[in-house]
Amino acid sequence: MLSVTATTSHAFELWSLCALPNERLLAGSRTHGQSHLRLLGPSSGDAHALTGNVLSVHVNGTRAYAVTSEQISGFDLGKGDLNPLLQSGPTGVDNTLLTGTDIVSGGPIAKRLYAAHRTSGISLTDPRSAHQPQVTDTALSPSRKLRISCATALNSYTLALCSEHGDLALFDLRHPDAPSKVVRDAHVGWITTIGAANSDTLITGGADGVIRVWTSALECATTLPLHADSVYGITATDDMFATVSFEGRVAVNPIPGRQ
């Protein structure tokens, strides 16, 4: 296990990062109450204002997507810089691809974009068209509504959703009427972050400071009490994963069975 402390000299808060070629980073930032998507690297690049709090940034080919608490915006990286992906969308001709309230997670899934909303389910849209998003209810049962805390794409048709009550659920977007698998009390309390190492491994972190590694069938492969406070972020490759928590600690570990 490796523990490191990172510092930055930037004059703004960094909320999310994504690596690009040529030693550059795509960063979601916030300064004086305003969110931006920025290109960082050897030669500092563009910055574009965003609406809402930055949750994550994603790169899919030559396109970049910024997910905030209020919308998903598209950008073109094809010329090496950051340009708004202008098209007819829900707010007119601009680069807003999906809007909503209480977005807690989002990003690409196959050729579509998804947004997970805390209480209203999942929105799906095709960024190549101006069609209204398809909305999927995420109730676990008629009496138990899933209050989503975070989500990630496991593969091109499956979303893994976590709840404020510690539930972990898989939704097959081809048959979204009900979850295909649910684990109740996967963590003690709020599941704060989730990541996919590949199409058969999920990693969750909670307010309990615990990391759990799951198979695609939601069988818990291992439990790791790595942090003393809430886990806020997870990133993973096929054989390693890193987690970061509120106390400022980063832990890097091998995925069980992949050493």
CA distance 116 to 124: 9
Q: Are residues 73 and 154 in the same domain?
A: no
CATH number of the domain residue 179 falls in: 2.130.10.10
Closest among 168, 162, 235, 154 to 198, alpha carbons compared: 154
Write out pLDDT tens, residues 112-128.
899 999 887 888 888 77
Q: CA 8, 58, 110 angle in degrees (round to 5)?
A: 160
Which residues make Cβ contacts (< 8 Å) with residue 142, sequence separation at least 6?
Answer: none
What pLDDT was estimated at residue 52? 92
Q: What is the pLDDT, as a whole number, of residue 168?
A: 94
Indicate whether 38 and 141 sit together in one domain: no
Domain span at 254: 137-259
Question: pLDDT at position 258, please?
Answer: 65
pLDDT of 92 reads 59
Q: Which of 99, 122, 146 finishes a domain? A: 99
Total domains in the chain come to 2
Query: What's residue 3's pLDDT?
Result: 40
Question: Are the C-beta atoms of residues 76 and 83 closer than 8 Å to each other?
Answer: yes
pLDDT band at residue 90 using 50, 70 and 90 as cut-offs: low
Q: What's the pLDDT score for residue 14? A: 72
How confident is the model over 185-229, as pLDDT tens digits? 999 989 999 999 888 899 999 999 999 999 999 999 999 998 888
Predicted local confidence at residue 9, as pLDDT: 47
For residue 2, is it within any domain?
A: no
Give yes or no for a contact between 115 and 134, defined as CB atoms under 8 angstroms apart. no
Are both 239 and 145 inside the same structural domain? yes
Burial of residue 3 (number of CB atoms within 10 Å: 0-12, 13-18, 19+): exposed
Q: Three-state secondary structure along the chain?
A: CEEECCCCCCCCEEEEEEEECCCEEEEEEEECCEEEEEEECCCCCCEEEECCCEEEEEEECCEEEEEECCEEEEEECCCCCCEECCEEECCEEECEEEECCCEEEEEEECCEEEEEECCCEEEEECCCCCCCCEEECCCCECCECCCEEEEEECCCCEEEEEECCCCEEEEECCCCCCCCEEECCCCCCCEEEEEEEECCEEEEEECCCCEEEEECCCCEEEEECCCCCCEEEEEECCCEEEEEECCCCEEEEECCCCC
Q: Check pLDDT > 50 for residue 4.
A: no
In a domain, 47, yes or no: yes
78 and 154, same domain (yes or no): no
Do 175 and 257 sit in the same domain of this protein? yes
- Please give the structure tokens belonging to residue 57: 């940034």
Q: Are residues 85 and 183 in the same domain?
A: no
Token readout for 233 is 């972020």
- Under 8 Å between Cβ of 231 and 192: yes
> Residue 11: pLDDT band by 50, 70, 90 thresholds?
low
- Kindly state whether residue 120 falls inside one of the protein's structural domains: no
Greater confidence (170 vs 136) lies with: 170
Percent of the chain's residues with pLDDT above 90 = 34
Same-domain pairing of 150 and 95: no
Does residue 141 share a domain with residue 84? no
Percent of the chain scoring above 70 in pLDDT: 84
Judged against a pLDDT cut of 90, whether residue 8 lies above it is answered with no
Task: Over range 239-250, report the average pLDDT.
Answer: 83
Q: Let me know whether 228 and 144 are in one domain.
A: yes
Rounded Cα distance between 24 and 15, Å, is: 16
- Confirm whether 43 is domain-assigned: yes
Q: Supply the pLDDT for residue 45.
A: 65
Angle at 15 between CA 59 and CA 170, to 5 degrees: 60
Q: Give the mean pLDDT of the chain.
A: 83
Using the 3D structure, point to which of 78, 99, 120 is the last residue of a domain. Answer: 99
Q: Say if residue 147 is in the same domain as residue 257.
A: yes
In a domain, 90, yes or no: yes
Tell me what the mean pLDDT of segment 160-188 comes to: 89
165 pLDDT more than 70? yes
**Same domain assignment for residues 184 and 244:** yes
Structure tokens at 133: 């998003």
109 domain-assigned: no
| The domain boundary residue, chosen from 75, 99, 123 | 99
pLDDT above 70 (res 141): no
Q: In this structure, are 147 and 200 located in the same domain?
A: yes
Tokens linked to 201: 């491994």
| Least-confidence region, from 68-77, 88-97, 184-193, 203-212 | 88-97
Query: For residue 256, what pLDDT band results from cuts at 50, 70 and 90?
Result: confident
pTM of the model: 0.82
In a domain, 200, yes or no: yes
Does 115 map to a domain? no
